Structure 1
């Protein structure tokens, strides 16, 4: 499996969890510390930190350092990679449906039984 395939696999696996999807959605508005990310959840800061580690391993977020703060940032390129994968498969499916529509719409191609 290529590195790009592995990153796509890790990205989708990371986004399979609703807490991690919520964290990604929050980071779409800007960087936040793990404590700030944990605030809306009824789970511990340590649990949110583990979710952030999974997102970081998938390349979806990075942790930085600003004095005492360690803000977590979204990595837009990783989301673009996942979107490109989805778009590629969506386009293939749409082409197949168009061909099927063309066949079903052309009475000369149908056989009555």
Structure 2
């Protein structure tokens, strides 16, 4: 079992909830203050803060407090672990299809004897 599985599990658990996925989608656009992030969700602020805590503990987001305002942002590269894991799950047939596609693209771009 690869050593990154604990981190992967934490990220997958954090993203399993639709509220947390919506927060990540919003933060992909730009950082936001907590009250702005919480506005679209029909829940009390303490409940919403628990969602942010799960995301922060998983390493998906970071937050900074300036006075009474907490700003939340997506941690750069936080979701790269998902890309790594998904890439490892690709079947050999998918890899062969990728190589075939590259070969066909090169063959189409190569000059034919008629062109010379």
TM-score normalised by L of structure 1: 0.74
Compared CA separation, residues 3 and 33, structure 1 to 2 (3 A): farther
Q: Does 1:44 align with 2:44?
A: yes
**Number of aligned residues:** 98
Asked if 1:23 corresponds to 2:41, the answer is no
1:69-80 counterparts in 2 under 5 A?
69-80=69-80
- Structure with the bigger percentage of strand: 2
Cα distance change on mapping 1:3 and 1:52 into 2, 3 Å: farther
Structure 1 distance, partners of 2:66, 2:2, is 34
1:9 aligns to what?
9
RMSD over aligned CA atoms reads 2.2
After superposing on structure 2, the runs of 4+ consecutive aligned residues of structure 1 that deviate more than 4 Å are 95-98
Using the size of structure 2 for normalisation, the TM-score is 0.73
Q: 1:5 to 1:42 in 2, by over 3 A?
A: same
5+ residue gaps, structure 1: 99-113
Cα distance, 1:3–1:47 mapped onto 2, change above 3 Å: farther
Q: Which runs of 5+ in 2 are unaligned?
A: 99-116
- 1:56 paired to 2:56: yes
Match of 1:78, SS?
coil
Structure number with higher helix proportion: 1
- The equivalent of 1:94 in structure 2 is 94
